[in-house]
Amino acid sequence: MRFIFPALVVVLSGSVGFAQETHTIRLKLNVDPGKAMTSADAHKDKGTTKILDADGKVVKEISPGGAESVTRDIVLEADKLGNPTKYIRKYEKANNTEDGKTTAYSYEGRTLLFEKKVDGTFRIGVEGKGPIDARDTEKLFRAANKPSESDEIMKQLDPKKPVKVGESWKLDPKPIAKALAFSVDEAKSILTARLSKVTMKGNAKVGTFEIDLKLMLTESNEPILLKFDPPATFSMKGTVEMLIDASSTEVKASLKAELKGEGKYGVGGKQGKIVFDVSGSIEATESAETEAKALAKVPAVTWLGPGEWAQFKPKDGSFSVEFPGVPKEDASKSPRGDSTVQWTVARDQNTLSFVVATTDFGAADPSKIDAKAVLDAVRKNQKEPKGMKDYTQNGHPGIVFTREDKNTEFHHRVVMANGRMFQQIVIAEKGKAKPADVEKFFKSFDILLKAKLKDD
């Protein structure tokens, strides 16, 4: 007993000492140039997001499952504040689970280069062959050029004054809400951080912070405008462990989050609401930085982004194509029930557009649609077409032609595949379309449906 008791006294004395002591919190949030860090996070989600039309009918229901990410960063350059301005990132793992299906992002396994431009935004280059999906490209740019909610929370874990164990302070909701792309009712939102524990790791102090957020959301503007009345609730609770003497980038976070509420939308003349009832857990780590000068060789890359060509595939997976940018999607239905979805990338102040459109003929059984009759009808509807000829795409019949009016030229490819019409169109002011770009757009198109005998 006499050996145990002194040890217990030492432990208690140490704990009481930390409880009475004030701690000046200094955090190391970024890696120094020439060094590397590994980050990993896993989200496990449950619940549903429902999209309803103006009549309250469920148009779509999404069941999130979570996401996983493991990255290795090597910082090449940083600004005076230590923020990386040029770094290499290897995406060892990057996937998302939705409706029970896990899909890897097209940049999983790839090495990317991030480099800040004069205007303060990052450009992104990808090493090696093979395109990055257009939607994934958009996601990468959004993440690189906009702080995440976790970034904004971490910045506020330093209260800018010494604090004792057990002491708490309020967090500013504005930057966190902005990172989430929401507007909030600040008066009704409650956000606090609390230093709940301080322990030693060697000669370094480790602080455990308790996070408790409750944001009352009034509006969202990304990717569409949503208005919440009454406000929706986003809550997050959990712990973050960090070294509080700025000696290491090590972080361990364990959090639970929840989003509940109804938002009203109006898009393209259509109205409805989106109902959120989603919750999940987040486990995340960041390693201590390690020397990486020998690995910090700048790779040869192909630059991504606006105006850069990237592969695109719609959610139904019916085709793939390369667009010079991220396409805008529009859907419409004709009076007789034909459904058309169109994807468009407009360039050069809308003087040049690249379009893919699919049409499903709702008034007929797809298996009974006469592909030849549809193509013949397209032929007859063209005014003074040029170079009209038959064309075959992956065994499916089609036609190719051009036409023009006083100021505009049109380049067309139309293909029938299993009762669906696929159109590729380049629309340009005369002289604006480069033949090489038109050819690249057409050659990249690939119908991913198997040909049926009726299409021959």
As a whole number of angstroms, the distance between CA 318 and CA 202 comes to 57
Q: Round to whole Å and give the CA distance between 408 and 301.
A: 36
pTM given for the model: 0.69
Beta-carbon count within 10 A of 453 CB = 6
Each residue's pLDDT tens digit, 77-97 = 999 999 999 999 999 999 999
CB half-sphere exposure, 192, CA atoms < 13 A? 10
Q: In what order do the strands lie in the sheet with 310-312?
A: 310-312, 319-323, 446-447
* C-alpha span between 35 and 72 (Å, rounded): 11
Which range has the worst mean pLDDT, 168-177, 293-302, 433-442?
293-302
**Neighbour-count burial of 163, counting CB atoms closer than 10 A to its CB (0-12 exposed, 13-18 middle, 19+ buried):** buried
Q: Which two tokens stand for residue 383?
A: 């005014």
Minimum mean pLDDT range among 110-114, 319-323, 359-363, 409-413 = 359-363
Mean of per-residue pLDDT scores for the chain: 88
Tokens of 275: 């109902």
Residue 452 has what pLDDT?
A: 54
Nearest Cα to 199, choosing from 15, 6, 8?
15
State the fold for domain 315-455: Protein Transport Mog1p; Chain A (3.40.1000)
- DSSP alpha helices (H): ranges in 292-434? 371-380
Task: Dig out the tokens for 212 from the structure.
Answer: 């408790």
Whose CA is closest to 132, among 76, 100, 71, 91? Answer: 91
* Residues 6+ positions from 163 with CB-CB distance below 8 Å: 22, 23, 25, 169, 195
CB 56 within 8 A of CB 47: no
Residue 292 sits at the vertex; the CA angle it makes with 286 and 294, to the nearest 5 degrees, is 160
- Mean pLDDT calculated for residue range 15-31: 78
- The residue with greater pLDDT, 12 or 396, is 396
Residue bearing tokens 């969202």: 220
CB 318 within 8 A of CB 303: no
Query: What Rg, from alpha-carbon coordinates, does the chain have?
Result: 28
Nearest Cα to Cα of residue 428 among 358, 350, 357, 356: 350
Which comes out higher in pLDDT, residue 107 or 335? Answer: 107
Q: What angle do CA 255, 259, 262 make, to 5 degrees?
A: 175
Lookup: tokens for 439: 């050819």
Q: Which among 49-63, 132-146, 322-336 has the top mean pLDDT?
A: 49-63
pLDDT tier, 134 (very low <50, low <70, confident <90, very high otherwise):
confident
Element spanning 406, H or E: none
Please name which of 249, 247, 248, 244 lies closest in space to residue 205, comparing C-alpha atoms: 244
Determine the pLDDT at residue 306: 64
